[in-house]
Structure 1
């Protein structure tokens, strides 16, 4: 019975250990041949957040997820897509969080509106406090 239990546990551990052994995507570390396309890809990669590291761009991260994202950016740029199209695709796939360049949308407009509302409230309070005394 112990042998059977050990075999079952061992067979479950094999897929978990194989996940880290996957080779990196071809364009994760290899640059594009066209310097203009590589420059566009590199500029875009600097503005995309690594979802695993969360504080690094995918250009700076060594995480395998960032390598896969660099690969996707490079093959899409090489296929003729514009950088903003690639950004939109990645944001659709991974959410707004992936981009360091904030976009006003239905879900993010309060983040842009609340500071302005707060400043107006502070200005109103200050005006009422100090404006009546003069």
Structure 2
């Protein structure tokens, strides 16, 4: 039984070790460029993570591709241009302000303004409905009569 447990743990530990990626860089600047790029490119599968944080297969491929392009001597801007040409501006975690991406930058503010306008309109309607309505003398007299009739009954 102990041998079976030991074997199982060895098999499981191999998959844990395989998850660690190691890259060898020629210079610290190249390593820094790799870190910058992997933290600026969005995982297209996860969409809320950078490729540095994601374990998706596409993110692994993109990290490998970034590494290979850096090894070929390409600059960070050349790599970003290649990625945006291939995957669109959405691949950038912070896309540039362009006509195509204006909704990504302005959209949240527009939705906040719309929400505030709706909130003000609803609160004004509730406040207007809560105001007391003045009754005429005839209406007041009729209400008193109806209340007296109920008390008598």
User: What TM-score results when the alignment is normalised by the length of structure 2?
Assistant: 0.51
Which residue number corresponds to residue 101 of structure 2? 108
Counterparts of 1:111 and 1:62 in 2: how far apart (Å)? 25
Going from structure 1 to structure 2, the CA distance change for 1:111 and 1:58 (only over 3 Å counts) comes to: closer
Are positions 1:98 and 2:91 aligned together?
yes
Moved over 3 A (4+): 109-116
Counterparts of 2:59 and 2:106 in 1: how far apart (Å)? 32
Which residue number corresponds to residue 33 of structure 1? 25
Structure that is richer in helix per residue: 2
RCO comparison, higher one (Cα < 8 Å, 6+): 1
Check whether the contact 1:48–1:58 (CA below 8 A) recurs between aligned residues.
Answer: yes
Q: Cα distance, 1:53 vs. partner?
A: 1.1
Larger radius of gyration: 2
Which residue number corresponds to residue 122 of structure 1? none
Which residue number corresponds to residue 48 of structure 2? 55
* Structure 1 unmatched ranges of 5 or more: 1-27, 120-134
Which residue number corresponds to residue 6 of structure 1? none
Deviations along 1:85-121, one digit per CA (max 9) or x if unpaired, are 11111111111111012212332245556769xx9xx
Counterpart of 2:81 (choices 73, 82, 88) is 88
Considering only aligned residues, what root-mean-square deviation do their CA atoms show, in Å?
A: 2.5
Check whether the contact 1:76–1:86 (CA below 8 A) recurs between aligned residues.
Answer: yes
Going from structure 1 to structure 2, the CA distance change for 1:53 and 1:109 (only over 3 Å counts) comes to: closer
* Structure 2 unmatched ranges of 5 or more: 1-19, 114-153
User: How many equivalent residue pairs?
Assistant: 92
